[in-house]
Amino acid sequence: MGSLLRNVGSVCLVLSALGPIWGQNGAPANPRSLVRITQVKPDMATEWLAIQKNEVNPALKKAGVGSRTMLETVLGNPYEYVSLTPLGNYSELDGDTLIVKALGKEGGARLLAKTRKCIDSQTLFVSTRVEEFTSMPKNPPSVWTTVRYRAAPGKNQDYEDYLKTDVLPLYVKAKAAEKIGGFSVSRRGPGANTRDRTLVIYSDKVASMEAGTVPVQMIGQEAAAKLTAKGASLASLVEVVVRRRMPDVSY
């Protein structure tokens, strides 16, 4: 598995754990997402997840949040969870938080105190999915294999052109051949490094990684290596992470 992950990382792709959010009809709810990455204390994980399911999600629904996707880490930082909710526009971040809007100041403060004791750290940022570079599965997939790249200074557009012309056509063919469930590309925004580009490969099982990376499957090892070399001057690898969607804590 370690060598396979290195192969994934060696292909100059943009992947992200920050993928789409589904509404009840199975379609992407909004191309812009609010992404919250939380590192939970190991001995508090069960309690924290119960709070998310039984208290946070009902409050978000009451505040009008149409969907929430929760991911747990399979390969990456243990006890790290990613929450994605749709963000229509930045004005939604003005005024009280969604939890306070739903529960009031006292109720919101009590819930915040309950969750705060369970976590070690938290990061919040905006991510925008690039629709032109995305082909979603029909249904929410179980496994999100993500790779994040950071474009070199001044190379954002060059890197996206490389993705569009050289890399993503292979993913389109792979989806058509049912080798993957789908893929998405996102740009990180405020709260993160805005040169980061992320792409998620969606599948039903982690075992699907045994087949190798999409470029290797579609064009072979030698051609995939040349593809990597072409993109090496445009962006550098930040991380490769495998996450699993948690249906009990998502809606």
200-233 pLDDT, tens digit per residue, is 999 999 999 999 999 999 999 999 999 999 999 9
CATH topology classification for 2-24+129-249 = Alpha-Beta Plaits (3.30.70)
Helical axes 2-10 vs 221-231, angle rounded to 10°? 50
pLDDT at residue 190 above 50? yes
Distance between CA atoms of 62 and 4, rounded to whole angstroms?
Answer: 43
Q: Has domain 32-127 been given CATH number 3.50.50.60?
A: no
Check: CB of residue 174 under 8 Å from CB of residue 216. no
Q: What element of type H or E holds 151? A: strand 143-151
∠ CA 201-69-55, nearest 5°, is: 160
In the predicted structure, residue 2 carries a pLDDT above the cut 50: no
Nearest to 115 by CA among 160, 43, 35, 55: 55
CA-to-CA distance for 217 and 176, rounded, in angstroms?
13
217, exposed or middle or buried, with CB in 10 Å at 0-12, 13-18, 19+?
Answer: middle
Which secondary-structure segment (H or E) carries 34? Answer: strand 32-40
Mean pLDDT of 164-169: 97
Least confident of 21-25, 49-53, 127-131, 215-219: 21-25
pLDDT at 6 over 90: no
pLDDT band at 31 (very low <50, low <70, confident <90, very high): confident
What's the whole-number mean pLDDT along residues 34-46? Answer: 98
CA-nearest of 194, 141, 130 to 26 is 141
Q: CATH 3.30.70.100 region(s) of the chain? A: 2-24+129-249, 32-127
Host H or E run for residue 184: strand 182-188
Q: Kindly report the length of the chain.
A: 251
